[in-house]
Chain A
Amino acid sequence: MRVELEIWRQDGPSEPGRFETHLIDDATPEMSLLELLDRLNDQLAEQGIEPIQFESDCREGICGACGVTVNDRPHGPVPKTPSCRQHLRAFGQVTTLRIEPLRSAGFPVIRDLVVDRSALDRLIQAGGHIDVLTGTAPDADAMLVGHEDAEAALDFAACIGCGACVAACPNGAAHLFAGAKLAHLGLLPHGEQERGRRSKAVVDQLDTEFGPCSSYGECVEVCPAGIPLTAVAAVHKERLRGLFRGRAD
């Protein structure tokens, strides 16, 4: 099949970007979006054009490294699926693809389709962790965790950190990401002692680097890990809880 690509090129963080148009004549329905870009890069190399830089790593949807915007949809036209698992066969009649980086002021472009998502890591750094020194943990079997709590925690912990939620948000908010972490840790008995402190640290960082949430719900539509909208509510739940208690826990 023939696919027309309108693709974002940008030489560096402070350079202006532009769209380039390329045609691929031998695309196949089995190809994933990223394999289409692999194909394009081979073609560009043959034409003496520098290949397009884009990020991808595991190509099975778990590492969270990949992510491009396709026809205004973060990750691509198939909902809740990472770019590496978007296959052309699922695109229906669409054969013109406009491919851009994940867009958000919090994700400055490094080059072409590669963006800097380190702001997400700073959220984790600020407080998305549990303060247990190596070797000091109690017996994991002695700390009971209900089956359902463990499963619910895992529902939130499944976040792959791709940043599509931020790119989908008209406000550049990262509440789905931050809330997933707070909900995940909030459901586990370990780290309960710093639950209040954690929520303050994470929410302060969230407010520093990202926009406010207006409940558009777009984040949920693109999330490859299926994080539910309740994660967004968990941000304020945890923060309010911390605020009312006024203590570290």
Chain B
Amino acid sequence: MPGLDARLPEGDPLTAWDRRRADYRLVSPANRRKFTVIVVGTGLAGAGAAAALGELGYRVECFTFHDAPRRAHSVAAHGGINAARARKVDGDSIARFVVDTVKGGDFRGREADVVRLATESVRVIDHLQAIGTPFAREYGGQLATRSFGGVQVSRTYYSRGQTGQQLQIAAAQALLRQVERGSVRLHTRTEMLDLIVADNRAQGIVTRNLVTGEITAHPAHAVVLATGGYGSVYFHSTLAMNSNATATWRAHRRGALFASPSFVQFHPTALPVSSHWQSKTTLMSESLRNDGRIWVPSTAGDDRPPNDIPESERDYYLERRYPAYGNLTPRDIASRAARTEIEAGRGVGPLQNSVYLDFRDAIERLGRDTIASRYGNLFEMYYDATGEDPYTVPMRIAPGAHFTMGGLWSDYDQMTTIDGLFVGGEAGSNYHGANRLGANSLLSACVDGWFTLPFSVPNYLAGVGASTELIAPDAPEVTEAIAAVRNRADTLLANNGTRRPATFHRELGEILYRGCGVSRSDTGLRTARDEVRALREEFWADVKVAGAADRLNQELEKAGRVADFLELAELMIDDALDRTESCGAHFRAEYATDEGEARRNDEQWANVSAWETTPEGQHIRHLESLRFDLVPLQVRDYR
């Protein structure tokens, strides 16, 4: 089978993006309004793409299942956004950014795309500042930066602990500006449930109006999916309740390849699950690891209160195992180390599923006030969620499913394997390889939305031609897609089962955490695959969806999303089974060094697995081989 072609620019990688932009075809201003572009999602990538394309003069139809564009889950990112502006004399540069990101991703991301990420990062900050983000400033008035895990320079721009919110609000208001100008039509509470593919081109989507239940086909010349990641497949995750994979999964079932589905980042500083009804594992910012020390009791099953455990009986395992980086090792390593301790029975808390993050020494050294000024809001949030005071009792943290590096496969121009179907942000897959660096996700969403898709979508449209009509409402592909959506809803509602969709979701999450979580093994994955298949069968046999289709029905929404998760989960497991190496967040117990560190296999696996699912549900793997011109392959070593 021939490898996938990502259509990378030839020649010097550092200037490749400039050359590609110069090569892109253009659409004349008068012709732009003849093109309709659909953007699904209003997060940083979606709002950015919709606003920018609207500004350029294209007819943009933008969709979100939320009540308002501002709610998209980009809003929840805390720490910051990286940019290789390299203003300080700390040795940062575009090339350094590329090294950090490619290496951080354990050489499973696409270097050329990372160069674009780094290049455009400079003006992302300018633009987001200009549209209203109040970035933190030094007293001299310049932008302030902080440093983040996995890098040795200070290139993270931030707005307190709510950078994602501030960027998201700025992006949403830029989008609303275009709505008011009439260049973007925004459809809120409207969920994409299928993709219309005709003549091998993406030509529109099918949506359900979540308030009236109306199912509608929206034709377009190009479709952009910016619908976020699928981490909520794990049920307990740092994602929002409504985050889902339906848009990308439906596109996948229509032919778009899905890359690296098993690459999931587990955030080491999430709140542990402490009770059955706890609905999520809230993320505590990674910055806490700057001053907090992570430890577990040295002996398994030690259930004394943390402050009663003497220093000599505490194991600061990160400091012990990784003396160079200590508590600041990258996320995948910190999560894996925590999982190892928990599995060895040294976990703490009522369910023995967490580790301590202790500020005692930092408070002694710096004083309570300093710690309060650095982390006050996080401590408050922790207290709020758990009822425990982190100033006096160590925090409890545990790895939680957080970010999905995998997503729809796209070429260098962000176009998937379906012509005219583009992808942006976490829904895509090209930058972060097998592990994402902190503060790179906001960046990748912004670069895609504001500074990649507005170039590459027009390039595609220029090829389509301004005289190409939108697909007719009675075209067979349209009626078929509408019927498929309607059938699915009817089937779900008519099913004479007993269990709520959410109960299947919870069970699926447990299977995945167990079998396809922080650490994976052949037998574990095989068991998980059987369990997922059985659960999927049970779902279709026994799901009970209350209510009707013609009004707001959250049970129906949930059921559709869980049904897709049940298919996606199997693909994730197949990918994890297939990739017989350990890399980044994907850790296979069989492929480890004697010290228990990940062992990559570059000869066989220096490539991206992009999966096809046949209509019968068979998974077929395609490969895109990866090239590293700027960053020589090397072993990540944080010891």
Contacts and interface: CB of A to CB of B under 8 A. Distances in A.
A35 B279 contact: yes
A117 B67 CA distance: 7
A134 B283 CA distance: 32
Nearest to A145: B137
A132 B135 contact: no
B131 A190 contact: yes
Interface in A94-143: 110-111, 114, 116-118, 120-121, 124-126, 128-135, 137-141, 143
Interface in A32-91: 32, 34-35, 38-39, 41-42, 45, 50-51, 53, 55-65, 81, 85, 87, 89
Nearest to B551: A12
Interface string B63-103: 00011111101011000000001010000000000000000
Contact of B387 (A87, A160, A191): A87
B188 A134 contact: no
A64 B240 CA distance: 12
B547 interface: yes
Interface string A142-184: 0111110111011001101100000000000000000000001
Interface in B99-152: 123, 125-127, 129-132, 134-143
A31 B136 CA distance: 35
B275 A130 contact: no
Contacts of B188: 118
A26 to B, nearest CB: 9
A31 B384 CA distance: 11
A185 interface: yes
Interface stretch (B165-173, B366-374, B563-571): B165-173
A190 B127 CA distance: 10
B241 interface: yes
Contacts of A187: 134
Contact of B552 (A110, A154, A158, A160): A110
B462 interface: no
B616 interface: no
Nearest to A116: B67
B166 A129 contact: no
Contacts of B142: 141, 144
Contacts of B385: 85, 87
Question: Which of B134, B141, B450 is most buried by chain A, counting CB atoms within 10 A of its CB?
Answer: B134
B323 to A, nearest CB: 34
Nearest to B173: A129
Given A45-B500, A141-B87, A111 B73 contact: no
A143 B282 CA distance: 36
B381 interface: yes
Contacts, number: 214
B554 A51 contact: yes
Given A131-B177, A143-B129, A87 B277 contact: no
A53 B554 contact: yes
Contacts of B279: 32, 34-35, 38, 59
Contacts of B282: 59-60
A30 interface: yes
A29 B277 CA distance: 11
A125 B387 contact: no
Question: Which of B48, B126, B502, B547 is most buried by chain A, counting CB atoms within 10 A of its CB?
Answer: B126
B159 interface: yes
Contacts of A191: 132
Nearest to A156: B134
Contact of B544 (A45, A61, A149, A188): A45
Contacts of B454: 134
Q: Which range holds the interface residue count of chain A?
A: 35 or more
B474 interface: no
Nearest to A45: B500
Contacts of A53: 552-554
Given A58-B240, A161-B68, A124 B176 contact: yes
Contact of B134 (A11, A118, A137, A153): A153
A160 B503 CA distance: 30
Contact of B71 (A50, A64, A110): A64
Nearest to A55: B67
Contacts of B67: 55, 65, 116-118
A62 B162 CA distance: 8
Interface in A174-216: 184-185, 187-188, 190-191
Contacts of A190: 129-132
Interface in B25-69: 48, 51-52, 55, 66-69
Contacts of B68: 64, 117-118, 120-121, 161
A185 to B, nearest CB: 6
Contact of B143 (A140, A154, A157): A140
Contacts of A134: 48, 51-52, 55, 127, 450-451, 454
A111 B551 contact: yes
A62 to B, nearest CB: 5
B277 A28 contact: yes
Contacts of B131: 129-130, 132, 137, 190
A102 B510 CA distance: 35
A125 B135 CA distance: 22
A53 B242 CA distance: 13
Contacts of A133: 55
Contact of B123 (A34, A42, A62, A135): A135
Contacts of A55: 67
A184 B132 contact: yes
B546 interface: yes
Contacts of A139: 126
Contacts of B546: 45, 50-51
Contact of A125 (B137, B169, B179, B500): B179
Interface string B210-245: 010000000000000000000000000000111000
B180 interface: yes
B250 interface: no
Nearest to B177: A129
Contacts of B75: 58, 62-63
A22 B368 CA distance: 45
B253 interface: no
A149 B553 CA distance: 45
A38 B241 CA distance: 12
A87 B283 CA distance: 18
Given A121-B68, A184-B134, A63 B552 contact: no
Nearest to A31: B277
16 contacts: A30-B278, A35-B277, A38-B279, A51-B547, A57-B71, A59-B240, A65-B240, A87-B385, A125-B179, A128-B173, A128-B176, A135-B450, A137-B123, A146-B141, A151-B134, A191-B132
Given A121-B70, A133-B55, A140-B135, 18 more contacts: A32-B279, A51-B547, A58-B75, A59-B240, A59-B241, A60-B282, A63-B70, A63-B71, A110-B552, A116-B67, A137-B126, A139-B126, A140-B125, A144-B142, A145-B137, A150-B135, A157-B132, A161-B71
Interface of B: 48, 51-52, 55, 66-71, 73, 75-76, 85, 87, 123, 125-127, 129-132, 134-143, 159-160, 162, 164-166, 169, 172-174, 176-177, 179-180, 188, 211, 240-242, 274-275, 277-280, 282-283, 381, 384-387, 450-451, 454, 500, 502-503, 544, 546-547, 551-555
> Closest 7 CB pairs between A and B?
A144-B141, A137-B130, A153-B134, A140-B129, A129-B173, A129-B177, A150-B137
